[in-house]
Structure 1
Amino acid sequence: MAGLFESAGGGSAAIALDELEASILRTLEVQMLELIGPGPGGDGGDPLAALFAEGPSEAPSDPALARLFPDAYGDPERPSDEESREAAAEFRRYTELDLRARKRDDALFVVRSLDTLGGEGGVLKLDGAECPRWLGALNDLRLTLGVRLEIAEEDEQGLYDLPDDDDRKPLVMAYLWLGAVQESLLEAISD
């Protein structure tokens, strides 16, 4: 079970992580939290500020954030008409903060789950309600790494052939491993 999920029955799953795997995963999730940023109430999470906050109307300029929070209308590859831009801005204003909060909560949930291992390796068991949070967080990590590495679907096979001295190799290895972890979790909860 090293580094991949297995079914623990009833929609739950378990994964055995060594110390290095747990550390890598935790570090990546902490970086995800930094990328997503604090909620509308800031680091203190002021519930009143969050209640009255409106989200941004423009897509993020960071390509990774734009991938995590894409426009709901129009084609991102081509400039869209004014009506599509306005609809996308309106939709973003009312949905992005909630989406950011969910992604932030999922990443934080993974960090806290990993913290139960006490900085060492061990077996982590997730119940059926926790598995979707892990799936979301793993997906967000893969999307972000894919953007940072400029990976297109058709290029993925070439990642296995990178020379060892390629500077991207460690991140590519993390990207591929996260894909295997995500796939194993999907298989585990479908058993």
Structure 2
Amino acid sequence: MGFFEERKGGGAAVALDEIEISILRTLTVQLLELIGPGIPEDADPLAALFAEGPSEPPSDPALARLFPDAYGSPDGAAEEGVDPAETVERSAEFRRYTENDLRARKRDDALAVVRSLDGLTPGGDGVAVLELTGELPLRWLGALNDLRLTIAARLEITEDEQGAALVGLPDEDPRKPIVMAYHWLTGLQESLIETL
């Protein structure tokens, strides 16, 4: 499995085989489905500009990881001597005015990944070289991070050590393929950061 390297002239490049392209595309499409649709393109632009987002945190653990409370949990606030009700109120207000934009950015990042992958044509050896320039490296970085956070939530990984411990799962464990994808995405993300 390939990792990003510096591209001559700037940006980053990675060689991906057909299976890697398929895995990345499938995971990213699933991420798009999880994030959900945005404001319709034919919506009134002024109304869209002032549209309020949700005030409640998502119930899905993966979405809660992608869209965390800005002011932490009420339990954590109480431990720090802060009024939990005030923390909930501040988080709700912050979420209401920022989550739509954050969802749009995450959606745009994921769409950039899908479009990049769709533009690849593997050669006779089944490998294609993906070259990222301009804003694409940052879009990919955002989407790779979102994919990792989503998978980590599904695997209940909250610390790096937990992810490392899952590598030793037996092959018959149904979590094994997604654990391997998680570590591959981690390597892709780290190599892209180093390249940039």
Give the structure 1 partner of residue 81 of structure 2: none
| Superposition deviation, residue 51 in structure 1 | 2.4
Give the structure 2 partner of residue 98 of structure 1: 101
Give the % identical residues.
Answer: 66
Name the aligned partner's letter for residue 153 of structure 2: V
Give the structure 1 partner of residue 142 of structure 2: 136
> Any stretches of 5+ residues in structure 2 without a counterpart?
79-83
More displaced stretch, 23-32 vs 113-122 = 113-122
How many angstroms apart in 1 are the aligned matches of 2:19 and 2:96? 40
More displaced stretch, 60-69 vs 154-163 = 154-163
Residues 74-108 of structure 1 show CA distances to partners (whole Å, capped at 9, x for unaligned) of 33664751111111111000000000000000000
How many angstroms apart in 1 are the aligned matches of 2:39 and 2:149? 24
| CA distance 1:76–1:62, shift in 2 (3 Å) | farther
| Superposition deviation, residue 176 in structure 1 | 0.5
Name the aligned partner's letter for residue 43 of structure 2: D
| CA distance 1:18–1:170, shift in 2 (3 Å) | same
Determine which of 52, 64, 77 is the counterpart of 1:66. Answer: 64
Determine which of 101, 124, 130 is the counterpart of 2:130. Answer: 124
TM-score by length of 2: 0.88
* Runs of 4+ deviating beyond 4 Å: 76-80
TM-score by length of 1: 0.90
Number of aligned residue pairs: give it: 186
Residues 32-84 of structure 1 show CA distances to partners (whole Å, capped at 9, x for unaligned) of 0000000133xx56253522311000101101000000000133664751111
Give the structure 1 partner of residue 51 of structure 2: 53
CA RMSD of aligned residues (A): 1.8
* Higher gyration radius (CA): 2
